[in-house]
Amino acid sequence: MLKSLRSQLTTLWTILSHTFTRAETVQYPEQKPYLAPRYRGRIVLTRDPDGDERCVACNLCAVACPVDCIALQQDVREDGRWYPEFFRINFSRCILCGMCEEACPTNAIQLTPDFEMCEYDRNNMVYEKEHLLIDGPGKYPDYNFYRVSGLAISGKDKGEAQRELPPIDVKSLLP
Amino acid sequence: MATIRIDQQEYTVRDGDNLLQTCLSLGLDLPYFCWHPAMGSIGACRQCAVLQYQNEEDQRGRLVMGCMTPVSDGAIFSLQGDKAQRFRKTIVESLMLNHPHDCPVCAEGGECHLQDMTVMTGHRDRSYRGRKNTHRNQYLGPLIHHEMNRCITCYRCTRYYRDYAGGTDLAAMAAHDHIYFGRHEDGVLESEFAGNLVEVCPTGVFTDRQLVHQYTRKWDLQSAPSVCTACAVGCNIVVGERYGKVKRVHNRFNAEVNGYFLCDRGRFGAGFVNLESRLEFPALRRPDGRYDALDHHRALEHALRAMEAEKVAAVGSPRASVEANHLLRLLVGNARFYPGWSRGEQGAAIRAMELLRDTEATVPDLAQIETADAVLILGEDVTNTSPRVALSLRQAVRNRARDMAGELRLLPWQDAAIRNLAQDTRNPLHIAAVSNTRLDDVAASHTCLAPPDIARLGAAVLEELLPGEGQHFGDPTVDALAQQIARDLRQAKRPLIIAGAGYGNTTIMEMAAELAAALCHGGCEAMLSLCQGEANSMGLALLTGTGGARVHRLEDMIVQGDIDTLLVLENDVERRCSRRGFKLLRKHVKTLITLDSLDTATTSLSDLVLPTASFAESEGTLVNHAGRAQRYFPAFPPANERRPAWFWLLALAHERGIEATSRLHQFDEITRHCAASIPALAGITEAAPRSQFRAHGLRVPRQTHRYSGRTAMRAALSVHEPKQPQDEETPLAFSMEGSQRDTPGALLPYFWSPGWNSNQSLHRYQKAVGEPLRGGTAGSRLLYRQGHATLERAAMPGAFEPRENQWYLVPRHAIFGSDELSALSPPLRELTHPAWLEITPAAAQALQVIDGDGLIIENERLRGYRLEVRINPSLVAGCAAYSAGHAGTFGLLPGEWVTLQKDPDWQRREPAVIASDRGGVA
């Protein structure tokens, strides 16, 4: 009996004492909480330092996606670069887990701290490439996949990628 | 059997296999590159190293190459041993020294054997700090994409291309680390089997050039087991689809039929499924000649109204399934069903069926063709009519090498040793054709004769085998050759005679059958193979039987106005009848209803067009040239108002109240009805499991377990995801749910196994490496030694006598172009030449034409045929060979005599522009 009375009083005291502490609730959206730069929110597609699309449509983000909300179709541009003919993310399914970003071999797909995506119509949650593609390189300002990769594109011939020797002359007899 | 020990575990294995093969058959993971089950071992890549111990006391062991080590009783091995693992890891690292950093932009990624093996060995970071070698790529034609930087120099490509497929224009060039696999210069790869490089290459050096654009990874493909429709061989294929388009065709292993390889016509010939000219909606012709689209209810109403006419007839098709043809025949009745061959084709197809049905000889599948030890090809250009057979024949002539190896107790997989031993020693292959063929390089003899003379050569060989009335050819060289051929055939244990419908000459096929019968009487296991024209020629021949309606009756009836409504099933009548007949068709038939998947000359004449689903969107049974019934399954549901042909026909039959069809509702029921009502086709129900089949209570999934994008693919149309399409007709599901375990061979939609993403995972589905699939070999044989001995000596056919100023027409088939549908596939269209007429240099001189000029072809029946001249020095004098199946030669019949004259108005064709000329990205 005494024990339960003590418990009741402790509870009352704890509750009342909180009346004088600072409230944790913020007046969102007038007040915005701090979000770390690496917070995982809305997904964007970035460009390489030369201003070209980074995405090479390798499909790794799509296959890594646990909710299968990324669909794309590869094609090859005149200059030899692979690019997504369309790139679609269904944000109404996306769980912002960031697996796509981890899987991306070209640092193209990145998650941003923006999470404010509210729509009255769910169809507006489907983002196409023109909605996803931003103008900058995002978190990785220097990386350019085609400078590293051995695939030749116009403006970068065989042997001009990182740590590559010039193409071998097959007909030469020299060692 | 031998008992060996691998990592302290005892296994009982087959004696004489190599260790790599044994490990894979046991389900153990041992990485490899250069070894291929169809090509044997050379020990080039050093990847399959394992430790072998001398005896129980040996603790150190020594490294041996798995693929070069025969297993023998009591041998002790270790795959997991430290030294072996370290060695394999180092080998992968050294193979990858120059590998470019381009997996994301490589069309092999996700099904790359090199990726799999790298992960399997555990290699991750390269320690080499030097710079990488690079290479320039080559343009290898519209089929194959070359990216030489990815090469790991395993030599599989040249071993396949040169040693296995007999190509000459792909080779290893330069030396040491400059080594380069390619042609001596840019250009289209010559071999008809070059497409297999895509599957043979363990990495992305050779990839499917069509797939590099609009590429889809293997895990994203929705696939179904299918059967190639490009010729009558019926190779088993896997059709992969994404976003409603057929993306690629890959080989589906069938130990009896195609084994590991396809021809390029089959691999790259399915592009017609994606064409813009595919029909999407039923269409009704307006009086002004334009068409209105209808929905299928109204289309059926119109069709029914037209079929109420008194005189209704139907034309079937040798490229449509057995079931569709069967339903069509039920719909109009036996007497008014015409199989849909042309005049020449019908006789040849029916005769071939009869000969194979009644022969005492074995009717071989491709696997059996590969066991032949003497071959005679009588008047068939197999490389161009049934291409995959030619690849098997190249293996058959190598059996001599294996016999020689057996005598020296070399094991059959010791590839380099056997090739060194045999050099150019081959089993005899004798070819008689109207001109040179692509198999001449491995032939013991090659003779150019006119078709009637080829039959006479057959008779002369028969005379040597069974001396009788002294029927000799008359020409001493040919008679000596006949003696030689007879000697070779008699000495063989498994002689094979090949003929076919290619020249439209039934006498040649009859001679071939008699030769096979004579050899059977001689006590050996003779084989008889007759090549057929189209995917279901044999099925249609079995369906109609000997007494089927003749096609010239149809033309007569059309002219007499005896047909009010004509139904045409998946057949372009323009290809089958004379030009005059085709004109009359429109004039005399009141209502023409056509069911087809593509816009053809016939559909654009029709009053009502019903769009059918292609082979990739529907199910059906085809019977191949050896009488093997095989089922194809839809890879994706047909879009819009496209329906399988059987579906349209069944709906029509129901509405018409056809008694026999009243209880048929599903595809399986049609198959069963067909099997029950036609004894010759009784076996077709065994071609694949019924639609109720479940493995472990589950359907077979068409999608891989990592199929991506399901919730976004259709989101552009609506964010609300529709239910997955249901498949009531087959045991497969349009979904990733289900089980691939214990799937029958006829239902395997793709090959994948944990750790084995590439097509090398196939060995996990086989009983043992190279052996039939665990789920059983797909298909069921309808003709198998039902024959009985009938030895009739036919009279010696009349000799071919060239005529003054007249030429004997012979069809000449082309691998790319002669088959109707595959010729429409975009990559093959680039390799297809416009229609031509081949003549001898002497004839060209007499007619005063050169290559590329035009000729007018005429006789009392033919008017207005103009074809481009090609001069062929190997062609028989007095013959002119026209390109069969090409627009411009429809209506020409084999064996006709024509006059030729130079076309004064002929415009010479500009040289064709190919992709490399356009400066496309190599």
What digits encode the pLDDT tens for the residues B784-813?
665 565 556 667 778 888 898 899 999 999
Q: Average the pLDDT over B228-257 and give the result.
A: 93
Task: Please give the residue of chain B at the shortest CA–CA distance from A154.
Answer: B921
**pLDDT score recorded for residue B785:** 60
B472 vs B359, residue with greater confidence:
B359
Residue B573 pLDDT class (50, 70, 90 cuts): confident
What's at B547, amino acid-wise? G
Please give the structure tokens belonging to residue B808.
């004997």
Q: Average the pLDDT over B674-695 and give the result.
A: 91
B706 touching A, CB under 8 A?
yes
Beta pairing, strands B854-858 & B865-871? antiparallel
Nearest CB to B711: which of A90, A150, A162? A90
**pLDDT score recorded for residue B451:** 92
Residue B35 pLDDT class (50, 70, 90 cuts): very high
**pLDDT score recorded for residue B531:** 93
Task: Please give the residue of chain B at the shortest CA–CA distance from A147.
Answer: B101
Task: Please give the residue of chain B at the shortest CA–CA distance from A79.
Answer: B921
d(CA A143, CA A46): 11
Task: Please give the residue of chain A at the shortest CA–CA distance from B243.
Answer: A73
Nearest CB to B134: which of A65, A73, A159? A159
Nearest CB to B105: which of A79, A82, A171? A82
B281 touching A, CB under 8 A?
no
The verdict on a CB contact (< 8 Å) between B215 and A74 is yes
Q: Report CA-CA distances (Å) from B588 to B284, B291, B560, B584.
A: 19, 20, 8, 6
The verdict on a CB contact (< 8 Å) between B104 and A149 is yes
Nearest CB to A62: which of B102, B134, B709? B709
The verdict on a CB contact (< 8 Å) between A149 and B713 is no
Place of tokens 């069944």: B650
d(CA B808, CA B859): 11
Judged by DSSP in three states, B82 sits in helix
Q: What is the pLDDT along chain A (175 residues), one digit of tens a residue?
A: 889 999 999 999 999 998 888 888 888 889 888 888 888 999 999 999 999 999 999 999 999 999 999 999 999 999 999 999 999 999 999 999 999 999 999 999 999 988 888 889 999 999 999 999 999 999 999 999 999 998 999 888 998 988 899 999 888 877 7
* Region of poorest pLDDT, from B129-133, B402-406, B547-551: B547-551
Provide ipTM, 2 decimals: 0.88
B702: closest CA of chain A, how far (Å): 17
**pLDDT score recorded for residue B217:** 94
Query: DSSP code of B835?
Result: P
Please give the structure tokens belonging to residue B868.
């481009």
The verdict on a CB contact (< 8 Å) between A145 and B711 is no
Has residue B474 got a pLDDT over 90? no
Residue B752: how many other CB atoms lie within 10 Å = 21
The contacts of residue B796 (CB under 8 Å, 6+ apart) are: B456, B459, B471
**Highest mean pLDDT out of B61-70, B775-784, B790-799:** B61-70
B105 touching A, CB under 8 A?
yes
d(CA A58, CA A81): 12
Task: Give this prediction's pTM.
Answer: 0.92
Nearest CB to A165: which of B104, B134, B220? B134
DSSP labels for B622-684?
EE-TTSEEEEE--SSPPPTT-B-HHHHHHHHHHHHT-GGGTT--SHHHHHHHHHHH-GGGGGG
**pLDDT score recorded for residue B786:** 57
Q: Report CA-CA distances (Å) from B366 to B380, B391, B441, B527, B771.
A: 16, 9, 20, 11, 14
Q: Are B391 and B193 in contact (CB under 8 A)?
A: yes
The verdict on a CB contact (< 8 Å) between B711 and A69 is yes
Q: Shortest CA distance to B40 belongs to which of B311, B422, B443, B340?
A: B422
The verdict on a CB contact (< 8 Å) between A164 and B132 is yes
In tens, the pLDDT along B409-430 reads: 999 899 999 999 988 899 999 9
d(CA B500, CA B387): 13
The verdict on a CB contact (< 8 Å) between A105 and B104 is yes
Has residue B683 got a pLDDT over 60? yes
Q: Which residues of A touch B710 (CB under 8 A)?
A: 68
Best of B209, B711, B718 to mutate (most A CBs within 10 Å, chain A): B711
Has residue B140 got a pLDDT over 50? yes
Nearest CB to A73: which of B101, B214, B710? B214
**pLDDT score recorded for residue B742:** 82
B919 vs A110, residue with greater confidence:
A110
Please give the structure tokens belonging to residue A29.
């959206």
CATH number, domain B362-525: 3.40.228.10
* B residues 157-216 lying closer than 8 A (beta carbon) to A: 173-174, 176, 178, 180, 212-216
The verdict on a CB contact (< 8 Å) between B712 and A69 is yes
The interaxial angle of helices B667-677 and B322-332, nearest 10 deg, is 70
Nearest CB to B135: which of A78, A161, A168? A168
* B residues 240-269 lying closer than 8 A (beta carbon) to A: 243
The verdict on a CB contact (< 8 Å) between A145 and B109 is no
> In chain B, where are the structural domains located?
2-95, 298-350+535-660+667-688+779-798, 362-525, 807-917
B2-95 under CATH 3.40.720.10, yes or no: no
- What is the percent of chain B where pLDDT is above 70? 97
Beta pairing, strands A43-45 & A109-111? antiparallel
B834 touching A, CB under 8 A?
no
Query: Bridge partners of B173?
Result: B180
d(CA B469, CA B474): 14
Nearest CB to A59: which of B132, B133, B217? B217
- What is the percent of chain B where pLDDT is above 90? 66
d(CA B855, CA B905): 10
Residue B919 pLDDT class (50, 70, 90 cuts): very low
The contacts of residue B331 (CB under 8 Å, 6+ apart) are: B314, B567, B649, B652, B653, B656, B658, B661
The verdict on a CB contact (< 8 Å) between B149 and A57 is no
What's at B41, amino acid-wise? S
A94: closest CA of chain B, how far (Å): 10
A164: closest CA of chain B, how far (Å): 5
Q: Are B539 and B680 in contact (CB under 8 A)?
A: no
d(CA B196, CA B563): 48
- Compute, in degrees rounded to 10, the torsion defined by CA atoms B62, B65, B69, B75: 40
Residue B344 pLDDT class (50, 70, 90 cuts): confident
- Altogether, the residues listed in chain B come to a count of 922
Average pLDDT, chain B: 90
Q: Average the pLDDT over B863-872 and give the result.
A: 90
Nearest CB to A125: which of B147, B707, B719? B719
B175: closest CA of chain A, how far (Å): 8
In tens, the pLDDT along B505-543 reads: 889 999 999 899 889 888 889 999 999 989 999 999 999
Phi and psi (nearest 5°) for B477?
-65, -45
Place of tokens 């060194």: B420
Residue B921 pLDDT class (50, 70, 90 cuts): very low
In tens, the pLDDT along B382-395 reads: 999 999 999 999 99
**pLDDT score recorded for residue B920:** 43
Q: Which residues of B touch A72 (CB under 8 A)?
A: 709
Judged by DSSP in three states, B748 sits in coil
The interaxial angle of helices B322-332 and B537-544, nearest 10 deg, is 30
B127 touching A, CB under 8 A?
no
d(CA B313, CA B653): 14
Q: Which residues of B touch A152 (CB under 8 A)?
A: 137
**pLDDT score recorded for residue B5:** 92
Count of CB pairs separated by less than 8 Å, A with B: 147
d(CA B258, CA B468): 40
B565-569 β-sheet, strand order: B291-293, B283-285, B608-611, B591-596, B565-569, B312-315, B337-338
CA dihedral (A121, A126, A131, A134) positive or negative: positive
A10: closest CA of chain B, how far (Å): 52
**pLDDT score recorded for residue B472:** 79
Please give the structure tokens belonging to residue B430.
């004798």
Which architecture does CATH list for B298-350+535-660+667-688+779-798?
Answer: 3-Layer(aba) Sandwich (3.40)
B153: closest CA of chain A, how far (Å): 15
Has residue B915 got a pLDDT over 60? no
Q: Shortest CA distance to A151 belongs to which of B137, B131, B108?
A: B137
d(CA A106, CA B278): 38
A34: closest CA of chain B, how far (Å): 31
Q: Shortest CA distance to B650 belongs to which of B642, B662, B639, B636?
A: B662
**How is domain B807-917 classified at the CATH fold level?**
Barwin-like endoglucanases (2.40.40)
Q: Report CA-CA distances (Å) from B748 to A131, B170, B730, B740, B762.
A: 40, 33, 12, 8, 11
**pLDDT score recorded for residue B634:** 95
Q: Which residues of A touch B110 (CB under 8 A)?
A: 59, 63
**pLDDT score recorded for residue B637:** 94
